[in-house]
Amino acid sequence: MTAATARPRRRARRGDGERLRDEILVAARELLADTNDADAVSVRAVAERVGVSTPSIYLHYADKSALLDAVCEAVFADLDRLMQEAAATTDDPFDGLRIRGVVYTKFALENPEQYRLAMMRMPGHIDSSPNAFTAEDIVAGPTHRHLSDAVQRCIDVGVFAPGTDPMLITTCLWAAVHGAVSLCLAKPGLAGDDALALCEMVIVHAGMGAALASYVGAHQHDDGSDGHTHDGTDMSAQLAALLRSLPPL
């Protein structure tokens, strides 16, 4: 960062604090996008980009960890908005799930370092604050809730079997797309020439597989809890019989 790239800034007026907080957050995300390196997002570098003194940053964010946590929250807010807008273009619940997955994938592939920061930081990382953006924050947030609501709509129309746990399906589908995206980011050569196409195939297969599994092989354990059979022969026979009965698409 050089003085030439810093933004000149006049003395803040009363009531400008919230605006400065937003500018700091934008600058942090820009640095992350420009450098593809969370380590480069230092408080000093952000202050230079915004055009304020370093102590000014600490008036709004306690430290670098708090700033990065705010970036994570902003990333999820953007992701949720994009998925909601895209899913609203269809009335088909299952296709809405597919669309959400594709938008999620595009966002992650186009913003790799922001995605890594939000979804791939290990618990206890050196940059994690006591109030770090956690799995609990994700589950309690609108992105997860909207995805779970979309799964419930699929249950309501029979895509997933009645009585299916929407939270479990939500987590399974999220795990599938996250796994595909993470593989493409970490080992891009494995995705071939079109990472998005590979991820979309995973999305479709995960959704169809979850739908099929919700109907095939479900049973009650002896203790009364829900579960699925682990007898591969029985599962294969049920699956084969069901697939043979399906009309061609």
End-to-end CA distance of the chain: 57
**pLDDT value, residue 248:** 79
Class of domain 74-215: mainly alpha
C-beta neighbour count of 15 within 10 angstroms:
7
* Cα dist from 198 to 170, 171, 192, 233, whole Å: 20, 20, 8, 30
DSSP string of the chain, one letter each residue = --GGGSPP-PPPPTT-HHHHHHHHHHHHHHHHHHHS-GGG--HHHHHHHHTS-HHHHHTT-SSHHHHHHHHHHHHHHHHHHHHHHHHTT-S-HHHHHHHHHHHHHHHHHHSHHHHHHHHSPPTT-TT--TT---HHHHHHSHHHHHHHHHHHHHHHTTSS-TT--HHHHHHHHHHHHHHHHHHHHH-GGGGTT-HHHHHHHHHHHHHHHHHHHHHSSEEE-TTS-EEE---HHHHHHHHHHHHHHSPP-
Query: What's the topology of domain 1-61?
Result: Arc Repressor Mutant, subunit A (1.10.10)
Half-sphere exposure of 191 (CA within 13 A, CB side): 22
**pLDDT value, residue 14:** 40
**Residue bearing tokens 């995960």:** 206
For residue range 110-124, list pLDDT tens digits in order.
999 889 888 887 655
Contacts of 161 (CB under 8 A, 6+ apart): 155, 214, 215, 218
**pLDDT value, residue 132:** 57
pTM of the entire predicted model? 0.79
Domain with CATH 1.10.10 in the chain: 1-61
Torsion sign across C-alpha atoms 242, 244, 245, 248: positive
Q: List per-residue pLDDT tens for the chain, 249 residues long.
A: 443 354 444 454 444 678 999 999 999 999 998 888 888 889 999 999 999 999 999 999 999 988 988 998 898 899 999 999 999 999 999 999 999 999 999 999 999 988 988 888 765 554 545 555 677 878 888 999 999 999 999 999 999 999 999 999 999 999 999 999 999 999 988 888 899 999 999 999 999 999 998 987 654 344 444 544 455 557 778 778 877 888 876
Domain with CATH 1.10.357 in the chain: 74-215
**pLDDT value, residue 218:** 57
Among residues 174, 178, 170, 135, which one has the least CA distance to residue 152? 170
